[in-house]
Amino acid sequence: MNFPQSERRVVVTGIGIISPNGNDLDTFWQNVVGGISAGAPITHFDTSNIPVKIAAEVKDFSIRDYFPTIKTQRYDRCVQFSLASAFLALKDSGIDAETLDPDRSGVIEGTTISAMESILKAQSGYSEGSYKGIRPYNVVGGYFGEGSSTICLHLGIRGHAVTYCAGCSSGNDAIGYAMRMIQRDESDVMLAGGSEAIVELMHAGFCKLKTMSERNAEPKGAMRPFDRSRDGFLLGEGATFLVVEELMHALARGAKIYAEVAGHGRSCEAYHATDPSPDGRGYRGAISRSMRDAGLSASDVDYINAHASATQLNDPIETEAIKGVFGDQAKRVSVSATKPITGHLMGAAGAIEAAICVLALERQQIPPTINLRNPDPRCDLDYVSPTARNYPIRAALNVNAGFGGRYACLTLKKYPS
């Protein structure tokens, strides 16, 4: 069954990635389809007193490679990742920000802990020297809107500037929000995505929650979605921004088009602060709404990039939710989990995985689920393991789940379609 769509179609015309797997598209994609994990011992802080000593960190990054005169102490690493990624996306799109109509463009950033470094530095300064110990730029940087406003400031984008937080669904929702603004004729061009940095306190908090893999001796093989031996995720960091643009606007300027953003769905199951509902209603709601928004049925979708957090609860519930939506089509659809390769980027997970779906559609190649050696019998779909697969993908779903029972799904289509 098909459903009515907006007459204003939305396409992706630029991609910018700062990731543990590379800071340019070709390197990133080769590592993703090659199943090369960025898991490694943590180098940014001392892990001697915490149980999880591995993560997927961004390496060989300096914001001055993109903005030579910037004062690096001014911005948290999360904001630096945002800024560099947005710069790369705009460059890839071929758009000169100075030519953008301020009333028809803007930035939407998804994140969860963007300002945490600044807040912790301000608290440390205050504890050591009262208010005189607080640095002004830690005050300015200590709010979650810093990323989107900094992108606008340095790239000269004078339209909308929005920061969106919905836990680990933030990146998906940011892109969906941008899609909706274009469909509703509020804008023509939007930079949308997400950013996150690994902060010691948050990493320690996830240790306390026991949501991360403790296989410190084998960081690249630590995260094992859908496997019997799974024991949690590998934390990651980085940023991904997409230039999403109204189709006629893109065609008029002769833009390269990667894929179409066709639908967005979200849900909140109101079940538990961290655990998914056993009946999978959050997943089912977001997936069904996104497909309905795109006017697609189960038979139209060929690939799903799953949330796949490799926790004991999540993976079988997500599997059952997919089967609940797709019925007898479920085992036909290719499903893969790319977090074991990139790490779990929290608020940026949806953004980097949306970019993976876009590249999969453009290059007609499905990334693998690595480290799946002994599948959980409750996880019985086609998880594209152990290697990537060439396949004629028509439409892809990007699924993410966040704390607080939040779920989000993007539907992306091959272009032209």
Instruction: List residues with catalytic annotation.
Output: 168, 307, 344
Residue found by looking up tokens 């697969």 in the block: 389
Omega cis (within 30) before 416: yes
Give the span between the Cα atoms of 106 and 191, in whole angstroms: 6
Residue 26, helix vs strand vs coil = helix
For β-strands 406-414 and 259-268, DSSP reports them as antiparallel
Amino acid of residue 402 = G
DSSP one-letter code for 51: S
The dihedral over CA atoms of 249, 83, 409, 302, expressed in degrees to the nearest 10, equals 70
Q: For residue 357, what are the contacts with CB-CB under 8 A and spacing of at least 6?
A: 259, 303, 305, 396, 397, 398, 410, 412
Q: How far is CA 341 from the centre of its chain?
A: 13
Give the span between the Cα atoms of 138 and 115, in whole angstroms: 9
Give the span between the Cα atoms of 61 and 223, in whole angstroms: 24
- Angle between the 349-363 and 25-33 helix axes, to the nearest 10 degrees? 90
What letters, b where the CB count within 10 A reaches 16 and e where it falls short, cover 287-309? Answer: bbbbbbbbbbebebbbbbbbbbb
Strand ordering across the sheet containing 105-110? 160-164, 105-110, 189-196, 238-246, 10-18, 259-268, 406-414, 395-402, 303-305, 334-336
Residue found by looking up tokens 């933030």 in the block: 170
Alpha-carbon separation of residue 193 from 12, 89, 301 (angstroms) = 12, 10, 23
